[in-house]
Amino acid sequence: MTTALSSPRQETASSNPPQDKAISLDSLSPNQQLLPLTAIVNSSDHLEIGGCDVVELVQQYGTPLYILDEVSLRTACQQYRDAFSKHYQGQSQVLYASKAWSCLAVCAIVGSESLGIDVVSAGEILTALRAGVSPRLIYFHGNNKSVEELSYAIESSCTIVVDNWHELKTLERLAQEGNLSPRIMLRLTPGIECHTHEYIQTGHIDSKFGFDPNEIESVFAFLAESSLNCIGIHAHIGSQIFELQPHQDIGGVMVHWFKLAGEKYSLQFSELNIGGGLGIRYVESDDPPSIEEWVKTVSAGVTAAFVTEGLALPKLLCEPGRSLVGSTCVTAYTIGGSKTVPDIRTYITVDGGMSDNPRPITYQSKYRAVVANHMSSPLSQTVTIAGKHCESGDILIKDIQLPFTNAGDILVVFGTGAYNYSMASNYNRLPKPAAVVVEGGESSLIIKRETREDLLRQDCLPERLHK
């Protein structure tokens, strides 16, 4: 028989409610769960996701292995899309912030749920296009887009979110040279701060992103005489946010510029993009709002602001990344050796680390995990999960309670769908891991595991160095 993840033994798995006939997965907000929605403990006492035994997945595909639950990802997409239909009276469009994880399969899944794609490079544009996403639903961000990238975006008919004067003037030159009128939006810094990690705050005044408020009127005046088709404005206030109030406030800040553009400069904006930023649950103490709560708050704030100013509701866009894909994926590792420092710490090593998950060493991010091949074993030791890289700071999880483990056991770390594969590296010349998507008891490879030969593919050895 199978059991829900409510055992007190491996307590980190207890955040997902019992999965029985009385509970619909559609009613759960994926960003509020530690594990993917379909996770259960099966009759072999193994962790199972998407109907697939994780131990068997590891036997088939090896480790480290990213395991993406398709049901969880589609549910998150649907909840964003349906919540806007329910709570916002104007048009809306959800865009997936693909910097969280850009690959063909993820883009194809979100695209099939009628989401667009937010991209930040020519490579992400290409990925979205190859995944079948309409260029009209691709929005191109970035604070230092090259001329080549801008030209590619124009040729692909993407909407370009302009970040600074250099980019704006470059686009105007390209538009005039090609007798074109590319669709653009303006990224503004709204001056709203939120309680998140310093490195992922992007909406305050001291930010590398967007036009500052004191230069916006000059930008509007430039656009009034330009060849560019500016359809609206964009702002983003940060990432991994649990507060609702900043997102309630953003409509009131942005409507001022929306109104000024029309009344003083005759710029007819139709779209307002309020970014993303909704957080996910990485550890038990995290308590993010649900997707619907976030959408309801944003919709109410924008509606109130525009109605008060007597303006028609804009097409409302948002750009969730982490809250769409973060909780839908786990990473499986094979445990190696251990080391006990008496009266200090026991280290358990795994066959990956900072090359497949750089967030702990970069942001001091916290994660939870279970031993997937004996889920019911009691939590009997406090250990620190160490990666295999030649860095003392390559620690995935510090001081976690786990059962006693042996070499060959399978450790599964939760919440690794966002900024894990997308920030992965070949540090120490480790090949990047494979990734699979699971659904209905079937698994499909979506990213091949790199080989040692792949690591040399771009290397060049000058003839004079041959021996």
Q: Which residues pair with 411 in a beta bridge?
A: 333, 371
Beta strands in 80-192 (DSSP E): 92-97, 116-119, 138-140, 159-162, 183-187
Q: Residue 36: pLDDT above 60?
A: yes
The answer to whether residues 210 and 235 touch, using CB atoms and an 8 Å cutoff, is: yes
User: Which is catalytic among the residues 77, 103, 390, 460?
Assistant: 390
User: For 174-178, 188-192, 231-235, which range has the lowest pLDDT when averaged over its residues?
Assistant: 188-192
pLDDT band at 5 (very low <50, low <70, confident <90, very high): low
How confident is the model over 2-25, as a mean pLDDT?
48
- Residues 304, 170 share a domain: yes
CA 70, 445, 282, 273 torsion-angle sign: negative
Q: Among the three residues 320, 350, 382, which one is the final residue of a domain in this structure?
A: 320
Q: What is the CATH number of the domain that holds 32?
A: 2.40.37.10
Q: How many domains does the chain have?
A: 2
Q: What is the CATH number of the domain that holds 172?
A: 3.20.20.10
On whether residue 393 sits in a domain, the answer given is yes
- Residue 444: count of CB within 10 angstroms of its CB: 12
Q: So what's the pLDDT on residue 243?
A: 84
In angstroms and rounded to an integer, the radius of gyration of the C-alpha atoms of the chain is: 23
- Helices 291-308 and 70-87, packing angle to 10 deg: 30
The answer to whether residues 80 and 318 touch, using CB atoms and an 8 Å cutoff, is: yes
Q: So what's the pLDDT on residue 205?
A: 66
On whether residue 113 sits in a domain, the answer given is no
- Residues 174, 60 share a domain: no
Q: So what's the pLDDT on residue 12?
A: 42
- Residues 157, 62 share a domain: no
User: Which three-class secondary structure state does DSSP give residue 343?
Assistant: coil
Active site residue 390: yes
User: Which three-class secondary structure state does DSSP give residue 11?
Assistant: helix
On whether residue 359 sits in a domain, the answer given is yes
- Residues 295, 148 share a domain: yes
Question: In terms of pLDDT, which residue wins out, 209 or 167?
Answer: 167
How confident is the model over 113-118, as a mean pLDDT?
98
Q: So what's the pLDDT on residue 23?
A: 58
On whether residue 131 sits in a domain, the answer given is no
pLDDT digits (tens, 9 = 90+) for 246-296: 778 888 888 999 999 999 999 999 999 999 989 999 999 999 999 999 999
On whether residue 99 sits in a domain, the answer given is no
Residue 288 CA to residue 145 CA, distance in Å, equals: 33
Q: Which is nearest to 135 in space by CA: 177, 97, 168, 183?
A: 183
Question: In terms of pLDDT, which residue wins out, 164 or 25?
Answer: 164
Q: Among the three residues 320, 346, 369, which one is the final residue of a domain in this structure?
A: 320
On whether residue 301 sits in a domain, the answer given is yes
Q: Among the three residues 264, 298, 320, which one is the final residue of a domain in this structure?
A: 320
Tell me what percent of the residues of the chain surpass a pLDDT of 90.
83
Q: So what's the pLDDT on residue 236?
A: 82
- Residues 336, 292 share a domain: no
For residue 412, the enclosing domain spans: 11-69+328-454
On whether residue 104 sits in a domain, the answer given is no
CA distances from 463 to 248, 298, 454, 457, 459 (A): 62, 60, 21, 17, 13
Residue 418 CA to residue 72 CA, distance in Å, equals: 14
* Strand 434-439 versus strand 442-447 pairing type: antiparallel
Report the C-alpha dihedral over residues 193, 196, 202, 206, rounded to 10 degrees. Answer: 60
- Residues 276, 176 share a domain: yes
pLDDT band at 18 (very low <50, low <70, confident <90, very high): very low
- Residues 313, 258 share a domain: yes
- Residues 240, 148 share a domain: yes
pLDDT digits (tens, 9 = 90+) for 182-226: 999 999 987 665 555 544 444 556 678 888 888 999 999 999 999
Q: So what's the pLDDT on residue 193?
A: 59
pLDDT digits (tens, 9 = 90+) for 328-366: 999 999 999 999 999 899 999 999 999 999 999 999 999
CA distances from 323 to 79, 114, 119, 241, 407 (A): 11, 17, 16, 10, 34
pLDDT digits (tens, 9 = 90+) for 72-115: 999 999 999 999 999 999 999 999 999 999 999 999 999 999 99
Supply the DSSP symbol for 30.
G
- Residues 380, 439 share a domain: yes
Q: What is the mean pLDDT of the chain?
A: 91
Q: Residue 7: is it exposed, middle or buried by C-beta count within 10 angstroms (0-12/13-18/19+)?
A: middle
